[in-house]
């Protein structure tokens, strides 16, 4: 029997991050000494008071269906968080809860895109951005943002790529995989362009908002351009800040017509998010951020260790991240060189394969729309990050030049 798959599903692919993680795990299980720097998942545990809230919810019988847009108490907590942390006011009807930030993004595109509609995707990008667009009939329009501009979109590029069919612009800050953070001046420049194109919606992925290394308060596009709020969907969650990746709770805040349409989409797919997960997320938002400084300091130390290890390695150019927990490395200078076994490095996938053979697992930059680069996660022990940097430097030193 031949199984015919939809054109829709054939337009997307399995996550490259998940594939790299799976391969690293398989090699480790087979006895190989592999340092896994593939996954963007905090190595810290979920705070104790959050877990206790989940236990209490189970004991109290809070294990039933939940309202599709989210439990009211959690939506109110998100509303309070946005007001106090982000200085943004939203009515409760403009806030929706889903099974992770990824579902918020998917629901938004499902609710707004028709076949052929365009979404502007600066590169490098989180791989789910373009695939979520494709799955919902849209066309991602990629805008390359290279090392010379710090992997950040410029107003000139934005102006050049907006067309009649442009429905969305995606802005991710701090960025995955780049760690880039937009300054106030840079956001103001983008806002000036967006004001001239009122048909363009803006998706603000700020999932890494609290993991910043500049010591400054959280600041996003809406803080410098509040007049754009009616056109923005702010996406957040608990996975990165509170080390709750497996709890699968994300939120969206945007214009009410959009959040209501997203609720309709969710009602016909997963329905409301987990009752226990929402109870845990409520405790997270109500419990404060006292634990965060120590974790951010650990990420900063790991960043410094890895960047220091790689900065002077011939053939590599390191973009020092200003937030998040990834280090993005340009490896164009390694292409054309030969491994000790005689194989020639032709592409960033060859570089990543070589590093894996040398005991370090990362992800090739092509997965994020920018080659030749590779991404390394610093969401693991400092000693592991330090050893990975040493191994990468040693491996690059063993390469031979053109024959």
Question: Domain check: are 377 and 275 in the same one?
Answer: no
Domain of 224: which CATH number?
A: 3.40.640.10
Bridge partner list, 170: 203
What integer pLDDT is reported at residue 402 of this predicted model?
Answer: 63
**Which residue, 287, 304, 329, sits at the end of a domain?**
287
Q: pLDDT of 9-53, one tens digit each?
A: 999 888 777 788 888 888 889 999 999 999 889 999 999 999 999
**Which residue, 287, 309, 341, sits at the end of a domain?**
287
Answer whether residue 143 is part of any domain: yes
Question: Domain check: are 66 and 213 in the same one?
Answer: yes
In 209-286, beta strands by DSSP E: 232-237, 250-253
Answer whether residue 100 is part of any domain: yes
Answer whether residue 1 is part of any domain: no
Question: Domain check: are 96 and 54 in the same one?
Answer: yes
Domain of 320: which CATH number?
A: 3.90.1150.10
Quick one: which H or E segment has residue 141? strand 139-144
Quick one: which H or E segment has residue 96? strand 95-98
Question: Domain check: are 172 and 318 in the same one?
Answer: no
What integer pLDDT is reported at residue 310 of this predicted model?
Answer: 98
Going by C-alpha positions, the residue among 101, 97, 99, 42 that lies closest to residue 240 is 42
Contact by Cβ (8 Å): 120, 171 = no
Question: Domain check: are 277 and 351 in the same one?
Answer: no
The tally of CA atoms less than 13 A away on the side-chain side of residue 164 is 0
**Six-digit token string for 144:** 């390359």
Question: Domain check: are 187 and 233 in the same one?
Answer: yes
What integer pLDDT is reported at residue 403 of this predicted model?
Answer: 45
What is the span of the domain harbouring residue 377?
Answer: 13-42+291-398
- Judge residue 199's burial from the number of C-beta atoms within 10 Å of its C-beta, 0-12 exposed, 13-18 middle, 19 or more buried: exposed
| Number of structural domains in the chain | 2
Question: Domain check: are 326 and 341 in the same one?
Answer: yes
Contact by Cβ (8 Å): 263, 256 = no
Answer whether residue 109 is part of any domain: yes
CA–CA separation, 272 vs 270, rounded Å?
6
Question: Domain check: are 151 and 262 in the same one?
Answer: yes
**Residues whose CB is less than 8 angstroms from the CB of residue 42 and which lie 6 or more positions away in sequence, other chains included:** 240, 243, 245, 295, 325, 379
Question: Domain check: are 163 and 197 in the same one?
Answer: yes
Contact by Cβ (8 Å): 243, 210 = no
**Six-digit token string for 222:** 């809406």
Contact by Cβ (8 Å): 182, 151 = no
Answer whether residue 382 is part of any domain: yes
Answer whether residue 2 is part of any domain: no
Tell how strand 201-205 and strand 166-172 pair up.
parallel
CA–CA separation, 252 vs 344, rounded Å?
46
Question: Domain check: are 255 and 295 in the same one?
Answer: no
CA–CA separation, 255 vs 233, rounded Å?
7
**Which residue, 238, 257, 287, sits at the end of a domain?**
287
Answer whether residue 3 is part of any domain: no
Which regions of the chain are under pLDDT 50? 403
Answer whether residue 295 is part of any domain: yes
CA–CA separation, 283 vs 14, rounded Å?
33
Question: Domain check: are 339 and 352 in the same one?
Answer: yes
Question: Domain check: are 25 and 120 in the same one?
Answer: no
């Amino acid at each position: 029997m031949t199984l015919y798959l939809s054109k829709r599903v054939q337009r997307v692919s399995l996550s490259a991050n998940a594939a790299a993680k799976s391969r690293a795990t398989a090699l480790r299980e087979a006895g190989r000494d592999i340092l896994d720097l593939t996954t963007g998942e905090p190595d810290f545990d979920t705070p104790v008071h959050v877990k206790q809230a989940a236990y209490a919810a189970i004991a109290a019988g809070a294990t039933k269906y939940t309202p599709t847009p989210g439990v009211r108490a959690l939506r109110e907590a998100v509303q309070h968080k946005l007001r106090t942390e982000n200085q943004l006011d939203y009515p409760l009807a403009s806030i929706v809860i889903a099974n992770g930030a990824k579902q918020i993004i998917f629901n938004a595109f499902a609710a707004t895109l028709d076949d052929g509609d365009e979404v502007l995707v600066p590169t490098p990008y989180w791989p789910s951005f373009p695939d979520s667009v494709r799955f919902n009939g849209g066309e991602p329009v990629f805008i390359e943002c290279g090392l010379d501009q710090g992997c950040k979109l410029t107003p000139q590029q934005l102006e050049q790529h907006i067309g009649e069919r442009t429905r969305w612009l995606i802005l991710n800050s701090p960025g995955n995989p780049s760690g880039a953070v937009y300054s106030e001046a840079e956001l103001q420049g983008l806002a000036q362009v967006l004001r001239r194109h009122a048909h363009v919606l803006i998706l603000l992925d700020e999932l890494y908002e609290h993991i910043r290394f500049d010591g400054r308060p959280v600041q996003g596009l809406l803080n410098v351009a509040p007049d754009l709020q009616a056109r923005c969907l702010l996406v957040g969650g608990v996975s990165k800040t509170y080390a709750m990746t497996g709890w699968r709770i994300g939120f969206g805040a945007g214009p009410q017509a959009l959040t209501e349409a997203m609720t309709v989409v969710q009602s016909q797919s997963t329905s409301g998010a987990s009752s226990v997960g929402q109870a845990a997320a409520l405790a997270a938002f109500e419990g404060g951020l006292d634990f965060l400084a120590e974790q951010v300091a650990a990420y900063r130390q790991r960043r410094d260790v890895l960047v220091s290890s790689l900065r002077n390695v011939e053939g590599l150019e390191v973009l020092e991240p200003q937030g998040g927990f990834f280090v993005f490395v340009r490896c164009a200078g390694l292409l054309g060189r030969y491994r000790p076994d005689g194989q020639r490095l032709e592409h960033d996938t060859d570089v990543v394969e070589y590093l894996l053979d040398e005991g370090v697992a990362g992800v090739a930059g092509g997965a994020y729309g920018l080659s030749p680069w590779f991404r390394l996660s610093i969401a693991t022990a400092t000693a592991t990050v330090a050893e990975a940097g040493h191994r990468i430097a040693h491996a690059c030193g063993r390469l031979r030049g053109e024959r």
